[in-house]
Amino acid sequence: MKIGSTEILAYLAHNSGSYILDELGAPHRDDLKNRTVTLKTSDDHDFEIFSEGGPKILDDFIRAGLVYEAVPLDDKYRRIYRLTPDGLKRGNG
């Protein structure tokens, strides 16, 4: 399934507890070649994995103030992002 930025915002807005997981790849990690962005369900299951367009979409969301870093970079080079009030409004629109 391919979903775009509008669908990602809508999913996050309509599924309380869902979030975006940003995982840095090499050279930070040996088990992950490229930066990967995953849309996660509230119970930590993968909903959609983006290895190509996901990082750009996430970066666009950050620049537009639609998401915020809820959990900073950890020792496994992962960050968690959640919707800001503006992102929630756009996702519900």
* Tokens describing residue 15: 């599924």
**Coil, helix or strand at residue 25:** coil
Give the pTM: 0.89
First to last CA, the chain: 22
What does the pLDDT look like over 3-18, one tens digit per residue?
A: 889 999 999 999 999 9
Domain segments of the chain: what residues? Answer: 5-92
What does the pLDDT look like over 53-76, one tens digit per residue?
A: 788 999 999 999 999 999 999 988
